[in-house]
Amino acid sequence: MPVSRKFIRFLPLACICGLLLLLGNWRSSQDRWSLNTYNEEAYLKPDAAAGKRAEIVEAFKHAWHAYERDAMGADEYHPLTHKGSNFSVDGGMGYTTCRLHRHDYARARRWVEQSLSFDKEGLFSTFETTIRVLGGLLSAFTLTQDKLYVLRAIELADRLLPAFDTNSGLPLPSVNLARRVGIPDSAAPEIISTAEAATLQLEFRYLAQLAQRPDFWRKSEKVMHVIHDLLDKAEGLTHLAPILMKHTKGLFVTSDIRLGSRGDSYYEYLLKQFLQTNRTEWLYREMYEKSVRSIHIRMEQRTYRQKMVFIAELHPGSLLNPKVIPKQDHLVCFFPGTLMLGAVTSGITRNRVTIPPKVEQMPINAQRDWYLGLELLETCMETHNTETGLAPEIVMFKMDEADAGKGHPERDWYIKGSKKGGPASYDARYMLRPDTAESLFIAWRLTHDSRYRKYAWDIFSAIQKHCRLKNGGYATVRDVDTVPVSLEDKQETFFLSETLKYLYLTFSDDSVLPLKGELIDIILTMGRLAHPLPVFKPNPGLMHAYA
C-alpha cells in the first residue's frame, strides 16, 4: 500500500451521533472584514439563528439522502457519478448515519445492528477506523444511551487491538479486521505518523471505562508514555514532535514538525486527554502546555507587510536550527479553537473562568494563548478571501519583498503553483474541510461574539453556491480562485460528520451540548471527527493500567 493511502479519509462514518443534534432532540432544559458592515442582530436573534439552522439541516439532508440513495454503506461517495467505492474487496464498512428525522435514524440504527460487518479482509487504517467508526459508535451511545452501540464498539475495538502488539507499543498503521492482525505499511514498513499513533486515546479510554476493559486503556495509553519519554529526553525538540515515528523501535524519525497533516491531532488530543478525565491527569496538561509554549517561540510567525500571524512548519536541519517554512495547511485552522479551549481550562489552576471569559481571570500564559487563538482565527478567515469565498487546502505566506509578486497583490499569502488561467494546483482545492468551522464554533460558544456567526454563515453560503450539486450531494472545488468552479467527484466524509455539524452548532443555543457549570464539558472532549464524548472520572484501576 502506498504510504499516502493510509491517510485517505476512507470511512464515511460520519457519526451516528452527529446530527441527531440537528433536531435538537438531545437538549437539556458582502464585506466580511468590517464588523460595521452587517446587522449584528441578524446573527444574535433566536428566530434568525433558527432560520440558518434550518438551511444547514436542509443541506445535510441534501448530502445524506444522495449518499443513502447511491452508496449506502460504501466507504466513499462520488456525487457527480452517483456511486460509492470501497477500500476493501470485502465491501464497505462506512456509514453516514447522523440523522435528522426519527425514521431516518431508525433506518440507520437498523443498518448498524443488522448490516454493519467488521469481519472484513483488507487493509483498514487503525487511525481512521478508530476516529470514524469507533468514535461514531461511542458518541452515538453518549447521545442515546443505546447499548447496541457499546456492544458494536467492543466488537470493533477487539479487532483493532492487535495493531498495538509491537515491541514498542506504538501501533501498526493498518489492521486486517477479519484476521485480527496489525499490518505495517508496505512502502514504509517501520513507519507510523505521530498523529495516527496519538489520536486513538479518547475513544479507547472511554470504551475502557464503559466496558471495564483495562487492556483498551493500557494499549492506547502506552503510546503517550512512549512519546512523553522521547520528548523529555530529546535535546532541541522542546516538546515539538516530528510527524513520523518508528513503531519497530519506539523512536522519532527525522522529519517535519508541523500542525498540519500527520501532526495536527496529536496536539489536539493532548489537551482533550487532560480534560477527558476531569483534569486529573496532569501529565497531559504538562505535555500540552510545553508544546504550546514551544509553538509560540519557534513556529508562530508573521507576514512582513500586514503582520498576519500564522503557524509555520519546521523542516529538518539541525535540532537547534530547523528551517522555518511559511506554509500553513487548512488543517492548522483547528488550532485557534484548541488554544481558546486550553486558555480557559488547562491554564487555570484554581478558579474556573466565566463564560464569556474575562481575560484578567487568566494567568499570563493563558492570556497569551487566548489572544493567539483569536488572531490566528482571523488569519484562517483571511484565507477565505478568494473568488469563491472558500479557503484553499494549503497557503504560503509572504515573508519579504521577494514574495511580493506572488499571487494576488493585495493578499499577504499565495497558493503555490497556482496561476490565473492555468491548471489548478493541489493546494488550490477546497475539500469541504471542517477545521475553520470547528474553531468558529468554539469561539462563538466561548465569546458569543456575533462576528463568528457571521464568518460561519459566509462559509456555509459559499459552500451552497459553489459545492452543491442539483441532483444531490456536494463536491470538492478544484480551484478556489476560479469562477465558475470546476468540481472533483468526491464528497469527503468529514463534510457530514464535522463541517455541517460545527456550522449547525454555531447557530444553536447553548442547550445543545450544553454548558456544564461554567465550562463546556462535552464540547471540550469532542473526538477528532466531532464526536461528543463525556468527561468522566475513571474507574479504579484504569488510569494506571499502563504501568
Could you tell me the sign of the dihedral formed by the alpha carbons of 346, 350, 354, 359, in that order? negative
Q: Grid coordinates in use for 298? A: 519557534
> For the chain, give me the number of helices (H) and strands (E)?
18, 17
The C-alpha cell that represents 373 in the structure block: 487563538
Query: Which among 213, 332, 221 has a CA at the least distance from the CA of 273?
Result: 221
Burial 124-140 (b: 16+ CB within 10 A, else e): bbbbbbbbbbbbbbbbb
> CB under 8 Å to 288, separation ≥6 — which residues?
267, 270, 271, 274, 342, 346
Owner of C-alpha cell 479507547: 204
C-alpha–C-alpha distance, residues 249 and 337, integer Å: 34
Active site (annotated) includes residue 40: no
Query: Which residue carries 468551522 as its cell?
Result: 437
Three cell numbers, residue 54: 434550518
Sign of CA dihedral 59, 62, 68, 71: negative
Listing DSSP states for 302-333 in one string gives: E-TTT--EEE-EEEEEETTEEEEE-EEEGGGG
Note whether 285 and 279 are within 8 A (CB). yes
Spot the catalytic one: 393, 438, 492, 498.
393
Non-local CB neighbours of 292 within 8 Å, separated by 6+ positions: 267, 339, 342, 369
CA dihedral of residues 206, 126, 193, 376 (deg, nearest 10): -50
- From the list 170, 187, 319, the residue with the least C-alpha distance to 251 is 170
**CA distances, 165 to each of 128, 168, 219, 292 (Å):** 18, 8, 9, 31
User: In what side-by-side order are the strands of the sheet with 191-193?
Assistant: 191-193, 244-246, 251-252
Contact 126, 171 (CB under 8 A): yes
- φ, ψ dihedrals at 476, nearest 5°: -70, 135
* Closest to 73 in 3D by CA, of 60, 87, 57: 87
Query: What positions carry a catalytic annotation?
Result: 393
